[in-house]
Amino acid sequence: MLNRIFYFSIFMVATSLSQQLDIGIKELLSKRLLSEPKLYHYPPDPLFINRPFSLDMVTDIPDALIQSVSLLFKTDQMENYREISLKGSHGLYRFKVKTDEFPGKSINYFFVVYTNEGEIYGAPLDSKGIISPVKRKFLDPIQYYDRKKRLNQ
Rounded Cα distance between 70 and 68, Å, is 7
Cβ-count burial 40-50 (b if 16+ within 10 Å, e if not):
ebeeeeebbbe
pLDDT given for residue 152 in this prediction: 80
Distance CA 29, CA 72 (A): 11
* Domain edges within the chain: 31-151
Question: Model confidence at 31, in pLDDT bands (50, 70, 90)?
Answer: low
pTM reported for the whole predicted model: 0.76
Closest by CA to 110, choosing from 18, 3, 29, 52, is 29
Which one of 3.30.360.10, 3.40.50.300, 2.60.40.10, 1.10.10.60 gives the CATH number of domain 31-151? 2.60.40.10
